[in-house]
A and B are shown apart, each in its own frame.
Chain A
Amino acid sequence: MNNLPEHIKRTLQSIDRIERAEASPFLFGKIMDKLKHELPEPIYYGTKMVVRFALTVLVIGALNAASVHIAKKQVPPALDENTLIQKAAQEYFGLEDHFNYNY
């Protein structure tokens, strides 16, 4: 226990003359192989392309919002039950009798 500071000092000094660990000589080949087979060429989009795409998205969004707004305005007013029955009757039987029984 008396030599604790000495142990700590020697431990901290143990890397004083450390040499650099060398990378494997085959590593470069591995990296080149990875680069050639696994990585597609990075795709870079130009500023113009990005602006065009953003504008297109904005126009499509605005058109969608406008069509939803217009569609909301054109909803017919709700009808009560009697009016609905009369409408159905009109559709199936008509209001006027076109048949001629005087023969």
Chain B
Amino acid sequence: MNQQELIQQLIQGNESAYRACFNLFSDRVHNTALSILQNQQDAEDITQEVFIEVYRSIKSFRQEASLQTWIYTITTNKCNDHLKKQRSKKRFAFLTSIFGDDDALQHDKPHFDHPGVLLENKEHARVLFFALNKLPDKQKMAFTLSRIEGLSNKEAAAAMQTSVSAFESLLHRANENLKTTLSDYYKNNLQDGASFYKTFLLMLY
């Protein structure tokens, strides 16, 4: 079944076409959401939302871009909305923590393990995802689509509904900011490790 046929059958509400569409794109959607949101449950929720949106909006899909690009656009938009909601929740949690309601603020440490990372890279990848989380949303999405999903600049720019040159600039800034964050992170943590070692030696002495 080619893309045109798939779209036609999706418009007609054919369930097997919907399943074929899900089988084709669910891993891409899930992986993108997981890399951006860094939470398994949230990624699953977003994947559900994306395919429900595909079902709802396929009739309004104008086919100016490929089906894949359209689905990536829905995914990035859903992730963007989710991140905004998450931030407003965090703000509220901060306020409640000021008034001593609970300990809602989490420790800011690398914690996310992407299941697709090779074992020998786990430690470094955890730090990279931690740094990725510090980027502005657009830069985070550009980096994810390009480096984790492996889309070309043209495809990723179309998915983010921006020009290729704007996307390239976004990606460049993302890389620069990541380097800065990683540099700060390692400066602090390597220093911490050294000072811990010195203290440990002094204690032994």
Contact = CB atoms under 8 A, between A and B. Distances in A.
Interface size class of B (residues with CB under 8 A): 35 or more
A20 B28 contact: yes
Contact of B30 (A11, A15, A17, A23): A23
B29 interface: yes
Contacts of B44: 23-24, 27
Most central of A1, A12, A18, A22 by chain B CB within 10 Å: A18
A31 B116 contact: no
A14 B51 contact: no
Nearest to A30: B48
B125 A14 contact: yes
Interface stretch (A2-10, A54-62, A82-90): A2-10
Contact of B186 (A7, A20, A32): A7
Nearest to B28: A20
Given A15-B117, A31-B52, A8 B30 contact: no
Interface in B148-171: 148-149
Given A18-B148, A31-B51, A12 B182 contact: yes
Contacts of A28: 19, 22, 26
**Interface SS of chain B:** helix
Contacts of A35: 52, 55
Nearest to B34: A21
Nearest to B189: A7
A23 B114 contact: no
Contacts of A30: 48
B52 A27 contact: no
A30 B183 CA distance: 43
Nearest to B179: A8
B31 A39 contact: no
Task: Sort A-B residue pairs by CB-CB distance and give the 8 closest, nearest first.
Answer: A19-B116, A23-B30, A14-B124, A14-B121, A14-B125, A23-B26, A11-B124, A20-B31
Given A11-B131, A23-B44, 16 more contacts: A1-B187, A7-B190, A10-B124, A11-B125, A12-B182, A18-B125, A19-B116, A20-B31, A21-B30, A21-B114, A23-B47, A27-B30, A28-B19, A30-B48, A39-B52, A42-B56
Interface of B: 15, 19, 22, 26-31, 34-35, 43-44, 47-48, 51-52, 55-56, 114-118, 121, 124-125, 127-128, 131, 147-149, 175, 178-179, 182-183, 186-187, 190-191
